[in-house]
Structure 1
Amino acid sequence: MLPAAHRMRHSADFEQAVRRGARGGRETLVVHLTTRTDPGPDGPVVGFVVSKAVGNAVVRNRVKRRLRALVGERLTSLPASASLVVRAQVAAADATYGRLGSDLDGALRTAVRRAEAAR
């Protein structure tokens, strides 16, 4: 589970991460990673985007729950000043938990590498 202190809540934060962040994508999801100038005491913040194209409310909520759990497990590996947006693709509806985890790992590696190269 993702602690409340690490949840992204403001639309401006989502917009900044998506527009200015480094992107890493896989078939089931895309991650946008940016670093904040003020890391704050709580560490990284994470937001999730699961559109209606993914499925009905039951499917979307299942995908969000799985993604929250997966990101919560990997929270310590993220930089303290990270702002991360995880955007689910349509293929996430049929993906297994393991597949989502491996796609998240790959997308995070790509986004971190691109963010470091952009500095």
Structure 2
Amino acid sequence: MLPTENRLRRREDFATAVRRGRRAGRPLLVVHMVKRADPYAAGGFGPPARAGFVVSKAVGGAVVRNLVKRRLRQLIRDRLGSLPPGSLVVVRALPGAGEAGHDPLARDLDTALQRLLGRAP
């Protein structure tokens, strides 16, 4: 489960990440990320990175969509430490994600995050 402080819940946060953030597309998913300009302006540690997920009916039925969301939540939870403080991340699953296993999803997520963070794959 993704910790409460790391979840995107408000529509405005999703819109900010999708409209103002950078995007990295992969065959199974698209990742949008926006970084805060200065997360340490208030002093101390910045706010935690937060993530949200968009899994439409094009991915599959309710059972398949929930499975994809659970897999993506687990993958993001393991990668929260590598995200900049205060960043907003939206992971949108594409139709092929419903048939994909854990490893292909992890590979696409890692590649997309590396591209957005400016690191070599």
Question: Does TM, normalized by the shorter one, top 0.5?
Answer: yes
Backbone CA RMSD of aligned residues: 1.6
Structure 1 gaps of 5+ residues are 115-119
Per the alignment, residue 20 of structure 2 pairs with 20
Alignment match, 1:117 = none
The structure whose Rg is larger is 2
- Given residue 6 of structure 2, which amino acid in structure 1 is its aligned partner? H
**Aligned-partner SS, 1:85:** strand
Q: Which has the higher helix share?
A: 1
Q: What is the aligned partner in structure 2 of residue 88 from structure 1?
A: 93
1:75 maps to what in 2? 80
Contact 1:23 1:110 in 2 (8 A): no
Aligned identity (percent) is 54
Structure-2 residue corresponding to 1:29: 29
Cα distance in structure 2, aligned partners of 1:41 and 1:8? 16
Q: Which aligned segments of 4 or more residues in structure 1 are displaced greater than 3 angstroms? A: 37-42
Match of 2:64 in 1: 59
Return 5+ residue gaps in structure 2 as ranges.
40-44
